Amino acid sequence: MKKNRITFVEIRDFLNEKGLTLTKKKKNNSFKNSSMYNLSRTFLSSIIIIFIFFISPIFIDFKNEKSSNFKEFENNSKNVFKNTLENKDLKKLSKLDEELIEKYIFEDIFEINDLPNDYVRLSASTIEQLFKDTNYNLEEVRKTKLVKPISLSLLPQEMKKIENTKARKKLFIQIILPLVIKENNNIRLDRRKLFSIINKSNNSNVEKKWLKRKFKQYGVPNNDLSTLKVRMDEIPVSIAIAQAAKETGWGTSRFAQEGNALFGQWTWSGDGIKPTAAEDNTTHKVMRFKILQASVKAYHRNINTHSSYREFRNARAELRDENRELDSLVLSMYLDKYAETGKEYVKILQQIIKQNKLTDFDDAKLLPSSVGLGSLI
C-alpha cells in the first residue's frame, strides 16, 4: 500500500489555518557574524600581541647595541657627576667593589714583580752620600719645591741601626718622596688624557683601547666615565708618606725590608709575606713587591679602587669640583677604614703629617727625567 507523503505546502497551509506562521530559516552566509569568526579573531589578535611582546626586547637590545659604541665613551660626566658622588645611579657599586678581582686591578703591578731580580740594595751611607752629591736635601725642597728624580728600588737594611730618629725619618722621606711624586705624575698624565678623550665627540681605536685598559685597572663597572674620573686621581704626597711611615715604622718593619711593602696591603691571591702573629687559619698575607715603586703604585691603586675608601675619593672629587687644593688633613679623615683602630689611626696620621711638616711636599714637583714630564713642573 502506497503511503501518502505530506508536503511542505500542506504543512504550511495547516499551520496558517491555526494562526501559526512557518518561515524558512535564512542561511547565514556571513562568516563575520558567526561565533567561529569571533573566536578566530580573538586567537589571531592574541598571537599578534604575543609576537609584539616577544620581538620588542630583541629590538631594544639591538638598538642599544647599535648605539653602544657611541655611548661607551660619551662625555656625560658633568650630568651624572653629582649622582656618582651620592651613589644614586651606582647603588650596586659597593657590591662590585667587594668582588674586584685582584689580578685585574694589580695586573700591571704583578708584571713588574715578574721582571728579573737584578736590583742592587745600597747601604744607608751610600744613599746619604748620593743625596749629598746630587744636592738633594729636604730643606732645599721646601724652598724650591723641586725634587731630584732619584728612584731607589730597595730600602737600606741599616734603617733599624740608625739610632738618631730625626736622621732615620729624614732618610726615609728622601727615599719615598720621589716615588710618590712619580706615581702622582703618571696619574696626572693619565687624567689629562682622560679629559682629552671625554671632551671629544669621537674617539680613535687607540683611545678606546686605552680606556678599556683603564676601566679594568680601576675596576670601573659598566664603562662609566664619571666613576673613572673620580678614581683616576692623585693622592696628596703628605698622606702617602705619613701612611708609609706608620705602616713600616719609618722603613724598619720586616714587610718593608723583605718585601718592599710600604703600606701593609693584604693579599689573598698574590705573592705575600705571612704575618708572624697571624693565626694558622689566616688566609691573608702582606703583599710583596719587587721594587719600592711597585708598592707605591699598588697603594695608589688600592686607595683609588677599594670600596673602603669611597668617601675619601668622593671628598677628593668635591675638592676638585670646587677648584680647591687637595687638603691632606681634610682627606685623611676619610682613611679611618685603613686600619682597625679607625679614628685613632687618623689622629696618628695627622700627627705624623704635622710634626714632620709633610704638607710642605704636597706641591713639590719632580725634576724631569724626560722631555715628556717637563710639562708637569
Quote the DSSP letter at residue 34: S
* Averaged pLDDT score across all residues of the chain: 80
Please choose, from the candidates 300, 301, 277, 298, the residue with its C-alpha nearest in 3D space to the C-alpha of residue 287: 298
254-294, pLDDT tens digit by residue?
A: 999 999 999 988 887 666 888 876 555 566 788 889 999 99
Q: What is the DSSP string of 265-309?
A: -EESSS-EE--TT--TT---EEEP-SSHHHHHHHHHHHHHH-GGG
Is the pTM above the cut of 0.75?
Answer: no
More confident residue, 69 or 195: 195
Whether the per-residue pLDDT at 2 is higher than 50: the answer is: no
Please provide residue 272's backbone torsions phi and psi, each rounded to the nearest 5 degrees.
-155, 175
Domain spans of the chain, in order of start: 31-66, 79-376
pLDDT cut 70: percent of the chain above it: 67
**Whole-number Å distance between alpha carbons of 153 and 182:** 13
Q: Coil, helix or strand for 147?
A: strand
CATH classification for the domain delimited by 79-376, as one of 1.10.530.10, 1.10.10.10, 1.10.760.10, 1.20.1440.230? 1.10.530.10
Whether residue 286 contacts residue 302, with contact meaning beta carbons closer than 8 Å, is answered with: no
pLDDT in tens, 99-152: 445 667 777 777 777 777 778 899 999 999 999 999 999 999 999 999 999 999
Q: Is residue 364's pLDDT more than 60? A: yes
Residues 6+ apart with CB under 8 A from 186: 297
The helix/strand/coil state of 142 is: helix
Q: What is the pLDDT of residue 21?
A: 58
Strand duo 365-366 + 146-147: pairing: parallel
Give pLDDT, residue 108. 79
At residue 48, does pLDDT exceed 80? no
Instruction: Report whether 114 contacts 139 (CB < 8 A).
Output: no
Residue 264: its pLDDT value, please? 87
Q: What is the DSSP string of 93-113?
A: HHHHHHT--HHHHTHHHHHHH
The predicted structure's pLDDT at residue 95: 42
Closest residue by Cα to residue 365 from 213, 155, 68, 149 = 149
- What are the pLDDT digits (tens) for 165-189? 999 999 999 999 999 999 999 999 9
Q: How many residues does the chain have?
A: 377
- Residue 91 pLDDT > 70, yes or no? no
Nearest to 124 by CA among 175, 165, 178: 175
Q: What's the pLDDT at 87?
A: 44
Query: What are the tens digits of pLDDT across the range 196-234?
Result: 999 988 989 999 999 999 999 999 988 899 999 999 999
Cell for 9?
505546502
| Strands, sheet with 285-287, edge to edge from the N-terminal-most edge strand | 266-267, 285-287, 272-273
pLDDT band at 90 (very low <50, low <70, confident <90, very high): very low
Per-residue pLDDT, 45: 65
Q: Calculate mean pLDDT across residues 239-266.
A: 95
pLDDT the model gives residue 31: 44
> How much is the CA Rg of the chain, to the nearest whole Å?
37
